[in-house]
Structure 1
């Protein structure tokens, strides 16, 4: 005769709801106490729920992507010395798992959650290059996101932007930010002082040399180059939110708001600003601003920012 032990979603400090990412084991499989059973994601962290006892996972009560809360019963473990019954489904599952080819993104010693497997497959990643931060070095979705955010060189022939699928955590954060913006939080404006003395001295020392080459060295050109360098070092900022993920833009294109007097405002775009020297950035910027004020901008000049 065997007893049963409930697998319970642990309490957290914030008692927040979570989303089931995926189970590491299937019904009928033997588990050891403290083995990771499933991965869940709150709006702040991704965590693993461990087995409260050794035995057989006899019942899974929550499915992938299901919302759960602290104290929620996630599944049932049967304890005792009996072997799990060999059902046709279990036999089929065992046979299927034995015949599934192992891809280069997975090794026998690497246990990945369903979400991590999907992210690895969609981005054609080698898990051997990803450092895991989970229990026993297990790779989590957060680890994959961190790896994808590292700038990588792409072949000019392939081009295109990188794409990071949304995790349940990121979706929840997005929901909270929208709620905060529209419903709950008051809004303030922060103003920071910055020491521009070095920039001003550099401009004074070089503006006549720029004028001789037909350029006009403005403070905006410095901000343009500095912004491009910052985006190079922090590529996740140069991204676009989409329904299913975040698109990391290969090119750094920066819009420059340009006043048109009583006619309003327009935003021409400096393309691939990270590839421009200060002189090139100044020339490009001045050309776009002048074209804007003379109503000579093309559709291309205001797209892609």
Structure 2
């Protein structure tokens, strides 16, 4: 029976959608609820699942075409599923004949035995514990699988990170719900699934050997030898028991020989020891995947190749000695540090310019990551919806730098976190916000009202691997320097380890970005949506400055100076308001009255 695939309603105001990509081609087999195509609307980009299992017989709407809600997109024939999979023309009796008439045609028994495990491995009916996409926030309805941390056949522990998922709010890791073996992956990388969708199947630990032989090469090899006139000789090399077949494994031995290179070279030399030859390749065969493939994902291999890291020299810190991305990064950094230590010879040329490594992305065209697209959409929305401009002041932070140097060791021992200059800027910013409510506000465009917040929820811009993210310090106005430092370190650590939650990324009333952490003097930063201002902290540098000394009068001294920039929405904040706020921040920082917070 033919089943029609239609464009569902994707929101109250959504009336049409554009087909951006078909995930299946005509004639392919699809399972019920399996992602079938991607559709883009003016509100959301999402995947349309297959309404039933069957064969995709017809695609009605091509890619990049736009249709209205309810339009027919494709046709699935659920009656064509069984004959599509059956290898023989008699498809219907085939499944019933597999258990019963198997002993009758003894000559044909090895032929169906070969495709049987091959068909069982990729089938979508693996039994076990389902891994589903959990709810990641109130407004999060879907997520994109960015990376699988395990492969099919790998062993997983309960609560061990299994995959990484990206949403429009946060990037996070999904843990394994139970211990066992990863039997099946249903959603590939870069595919999007709705909350509650089935991502993978985890079976019992004993299922590991069953998944391993499925992709093995020896299974299809006898199928190729079966049509040859020497059909009985095909199973002979597998059993390796009959002696007359001993000369045939000899040519099979040179096949695995080039894979391990010099190791199997001495094995074919003693040709007389025929039984020893099949035993020798069976031992190095599993050892190679254990050392290279079983515990190393393709992503880790790619990262190692880009950084010139030899995986044989890397000790894995993951479960079962698995080499993770962090291990490769640490090995690359260690290699760079060793190279810098070993290269002090050209001391005269070192200060001139450090050699810049050529990026592997140079000259390539790649797909824009989902997180990058979300950031870009938010920035364009903010720029198009606000009247933004930036004001800058110069601040003398010499006293703060001296207080920090004096207190940082005791602070780290007492509080358990390092004391960076950032908490001082956050403290000064929130103190000034309490006196300048126009900076800590929101314009409600729906009803033309203004909300002046009575709490200071400060978003902290964090430079993460996947892009800029802004976790929120809730109630920052009620925290001291130690509280701000702890919360900043906690949130930044969660962002970089993909442990941040949507709740920790939402609710900001004001944002601070430390653009000087990478050496920038100041920046004209963009105000985030639903806020009216953002504060940018520039790099702190020592410069000669004219100061008014109480005894020497006006004199020149070396001071720690920084620029503080405020970008704001001119619809609510005037230039005078911005200047008054920046002056308040400047006065708090230059006064440097933080001795009580630091315990001095």
TM-score (normalised: structure 1): 0.41
Structure number having the greater strand percentage: 2
TM-score (normalised: structure 2): 0.24
Higher relative contact order (CA 8 A, sep 6+): 1
